Amino acid sequence: MLAVHLISFYFSKLQEDPTKEVDRFLYSMRLHDDQLRAISGRFENEMKKGLSAKSNAAAVVKMLPTHVRSTPDGSEKGQFLALDLGGSSFKVLQVKVRDGMGIRKGGVDMVEETYPMPENIRTGRASELFDHVSESLKDFLQKKNISLEKKHPLALTFSFPCEHSTLDQGALINWSKNYRARGLLRKDVFQALKEAVDRTGGMDVEVLALVNDTVATMMTCGFDDRNCEIGLIIGTGTNACYMEELRQIDLVEGDEGRMCVNTEWGGFGDDGALDDFITEFDREVDAASNNPGKQLFEKMVSGMYLGELVRLVVLKMAKVGLLFDGHVSEALRTKGKITTAHIAAMEDYRNGLKNTGDLLMQLGLSPSTDDCIAVRHVSTIVSFRSSNLVAAGLAAILTRVRKNRNLRKLKITVGVDGTLYKTHPQYPKRLHKVVWRLLPECLVRFIPSESGSSKGAALVAAVAQRLASQRGKVDETLAPFRLSLEQLQLVKMKMRAGLEAGLKTKGPSTIKMLPSLVYRTPDGSEHGKYLALDLGGTSFRVLLVNFKKSVQVYHKIYTVPMEIMQGTGEELFDHLAECVSDFLDSMGLKSTPLPAGFTFSFPCEQTAIDTGILVNWTKGFKATNCEGQDVVKMLREAIRRRNDFDLDIVAVVNDTVGTMMSCAYEDRQCEIGLIVGTGTNVCYMEETKNIKKTGQKERRMDDEMERESRDAEMPRMCINTEWGGLGDDGSLEDIVTPFDDEVDQQSINSGKQRFEKLTSGMYLGEIVRHVLLDLTRGGLVFKGHVTEALKTPGKLQTPCLSEIESDRLALLQVRAILQQLGLDSNCDDSIIVKEVCGTVSRRAAQLCGAGMAAVVDKIRENRGLDHLKITVGVDGTLYKLHPHFSRILQESAKLLAPQCDVTFLLSEEGSGKGAALVTAEARQKQDV
């Protein structure tokens, strides 16, 4: 009795307001924004599961890597064949991508032919299906008078989920869309097609790419809009793809750049994630499908099922007397009698009610006006829910892309294809409005794919061909920088020969091997206060070092302007004296005479511990009237000219020697100093007996016994190698590139310090700039546009290389760095720039490692040891700040000197503390 009253109530309300009654009947299909945000959040979680190697196997949203790494940039060109397979018919096309047109002016010309795909072929053996495709391809070539002898690159749009290992390999996961061909599941689709082409014969086809229709849609739209990085299909089925950061895809090796991920989002909800949103009608559709429990999201939104959902709702409403006076026709009971095309017709702006009435009468019903209004509203609710669910899924993708790129605002384009989106009169507008409402922080543009997925497949092949060509040219450019083990061993051998030659009194040597007159490393007995002056680059440090139980260091850094560096010697040393005066003022020490050590980071010949004759400037210095002069004397004269303080300069020390001494104070095994910063150099403790060219002021030791006595008392001396000069005689020509030559020619000391120009921070940025300039002129980066920034010497500094090569830096941040330098780059450009930086800096580290191997092996052999354990004190911004330099240098040294156990110790206080230690040693020696 209650049921009769309820039916009467529903019926009376329907008479009064048909749409409101339908709203109540289908309230569970009417989703508000909070529900959509919840669904979006759930889908975002499912995406994470699919991307993770740990959870992918159990994930219902598969997130399949496609190995499509780039969208079109407008430079693609060539002729391609394309196959588009996925429906009741398939297409064969010839696609011509016009070259030299630019992204907006470029064009694609297509010739196509449609071939049937009979049901017996779709459900028979896979070999028969691909034989049919291959024979149709040959028929197309013959019909269009396309040469059968010429090799044709081919791309296949395959609208079924595949697991890709490469762009041209894909194993079928499962069939859908009424395809059930036997013998292909988990097998390579490419191989099946190739075997069919071979069986058909008479064609020369190279299959370049296998792509999903969603990916092809993104590529098609990406040719017209560079911001298109999402593809969406809403037709018979539904799916979405997007460009994911490669570092987030566990199933693919590598972390640089992006890759298109085919979400296969139709399976969303198969694990119960949508159970609270699934209605009885959805369950009925699912139960009657050929894959119950699968593709639940697709069954709620796609064109293959919407008509059936509407039919089931209308059928139930009729059964309970809410429609057609309770009359149910046989046609209304029949599955498939209402299609998505009917839904589009019912929701037509002008003729929707008439179309609804016509359909209902075709179904053997006699609808009233209210019946037509109600049925039309059912259709609206079902299709509106579809667009809302798609919007929720898109919102999850957009949110992920925005977060990946760390953007506050995201500007992006979605390429869309599918009959539901294209033919339904209101679907696109509804979808767009909901996406914009859910994500106001995203500027989303939707563009329909005009040429379908066929063009996209050809563009994937074109992009793959472009990238392969680009890759080959980049590899060719960078090949000379990639040193083999044999080349590194040869560098080690040449460094060793240079070290030996430099120790001799006679004969030329590009490695100066300058005696430092420092005979021992610290022993911990040093005490007292010392001043240390440190000149080595664009800065000058003044330090007060107090050796007590612990070392106390106070310092101040002063800049050395370029006009001072390249002015007169008097101006340079007057500037240094002014800085010392300021420091003493700030410390209240102007009236307190302190012993001082002078770290002077340029090659000097020392005739005494407090005398240093400048051999030549390096690191960009070119002050006049200094080379050949005693730099300590020049500083003393500058101090006398000021006449406001006095200084007792006890020792002059190279910065490398200072670094060794500083680290030896912490580690008694430290007998080598290494600088890799603006410049590069090494010092080490050499056997005194091997040093033939000491210039110390002392009487000649003609008596061999007296010489042996001295060597026994002071068996070793620190040698400042000045190894940056290796190669000045042309001995490194076999590894020097044209880019290195350009940097050398533009330097202020052309032909000098060739090893330093291959390895040090002052020059690496310039080498990279010249390489990028060459790649740009070849059209391989920056769209071939040579900017003023790229032509400007010094624009790309080595600290930028360190930043760009950081493992923590996403490509978007690399692009931001390049934009600050006036270089407008895309993702592919950023990958190449990062590779160039890495290749140049890796070579530098390997060369330093080869040089270090020569030094440690020499020390080992000097001491007659089978195995040497030794520490290297290291300073320099390149070594300290570059993310990979130190590791590569250490690995190279270990590889090339396997009998040496080398520890690298960073100098915390730099060479200034070392100068103070040398001064302390010299003062104690004077006091004895």
Instruction: Choose the catalytic residue: 131, 270, 282, 655.
Output: 655
Confidence of residue 810 (pLDDT cuts 50, 70, 90): low
Neighbours of 253 (CB within 10 A): 7
Token pair, residue 879, equals 């070594």
On the question of pLDDT at 2 being above 50, the answer is: no
**Tokens describing residue 173:** 């996961």
Q: What is the pLDDT of residues 115-127, one digit of tens each?
A: 999 999 999 999 9
Nearest to 638 by CA among 655, 656, 619, 625: 625
29-43, 153-167, 344-358, 621-635: which range is least confident on average?
Answer: 153-167
Q: By mean pLDDT, which of 648-652, 811-815, 880-884 is the weakest?
A: 811-815
Residue 700's pLDDT is 46
Residue 255 has pLDDT above 90, yes or no: no
Lowest mean pLDDT among 68-72, 359-363, 565-569: 68-72
What pairs with residue 539 in β-bridges? 559
pLDDT, position 176: 78
pLDDT, residue 467, reads: 80
Is the pLDDT at 605 greater than 80, yes or no?
yes
pLDDT band at 917 (very low <50, low <70, confident <90, very high): confident
Helical H runs in 17-107?
A: 18-25, 33-51
pLDDT at 79: 87
Cα 743 from Cα 308, distance rounded (Å): 72
Q: Which helix (H) or strand (E) holds 693?
A: none
556: left (phi over 0), alpha (psi -120 to 50) or beta: beta
Contact 216, 91 (CB under 8 A): no
pLDDT at residue 774 above 90?
yes
Predicted pLDDT at 812: 67
Q: CA 352 → CA 14, 17, 21, 82, 375, distances in Å?
A: 19, 18, 19, 39, 11
Q: Which of 134, 449, 509, 601 is catalytic?
A: 601
Lowest mean pLDDT across 32-46, 195-209, 448-462: 448-462
The band of 698, judged by pLDDT with boundaries at 50, 70 and 90, is very low
> According to the model, what pLDDT value does residue 1 have?
46
- The pLDDT value recorded for residue 744 is 96
In the block, tokens 């990238």 appear at 467
Q: Is the model's pLDDT at 76 over the cut of 90?
A: no
Q: Of the candidates 428, 66, 437, 52, which has an alpha carbon nearest to the alpha carbon of residue 218? A: 66
Pick from 101-110, 537-546, 858-867 the range whose average pLDDT is largest: 858-867
Q: What is the overall mean pLDDT for the chain?
A: 89
358-410 pLDDT, tens digit each: 999 999 999 999 999 999 999 999 999 999 999 999 999 999 999 998 899 99
Q: Which of 448, 444, 419 is nearest to 433 (CA)?
A: 444
Could you give the CA distance from residue 233 to residue 240 in angstroms, rounded to a whole number?
Answer: 6
Amino acid at 30: R
Give the pLDDT of residue 694: 59
Question: Mapping DSSP to helix (H, G, I), strand (E, B) and coil, where does residue 415 land?
Answer: strand
Closest CA to 208 of 375, 78, 116, 308: 78
Among residues 245, 228, 278, 268, the alpha carbon closest in space to that of 44 is found at: 268
Rounded distance between C-alpha atoms, residue 286 and residue 278, angstroms: 10
- Residue 6 has a pLDDT of 43
Where are the alpha helices (H) located in 405-526, listed in sequence order? 419-423, 427-438, 452-478, 485-503
> Residue 187 half-sphere exposure, CB side, CA atoms within 13 Å?
12
Residue (of 231, 196, 225, 192) closest to 210 by Cα position? 192
Q: Please check the confidence at residue 102 and state whether its pLDDT lies above 50.
A: no
pLDDT of residue 290: 85
Q: What is the mean pLDDT of residues 208-226?
A: 88
Residue 218's nearest CA partner among 455, 394, 401, 429 is 455
Q: Of the residues 69, 541, 636, 860, which is catalytic?
A: 541
DSSP string spanning 805-836? T-TT--HHHHHHHHHHTT----HHHHHHHHHH
pLDDT at 814: 80
C-alpha 652/C-alpha 642 separation (Å) is 21
Parallel, antiparallel or unpaired: strands 410-417 and 442-448 = parallel
Structure tokens at 302: 């796609």
Block residue for tokens 């064969």: 92
Spatial strand order of the sheet with 152-158 comes to 108-116, 89-97, 78-85, 152-158, 205-211
Residue 655 annotated to the active site: yes
Using the predicted structure, report yes or no on whether residue 10 has a pLDDT greater than 90: no
Query: What integer pLDDT is reported at residue 696 of this predicted model?
Result: 47
* pLDDT at residue 101, as a whole number: 44
| E strand segments, 677-763 | 680-687, 716-720
The pLDDT score that the predictor gives to residue 927 is 57
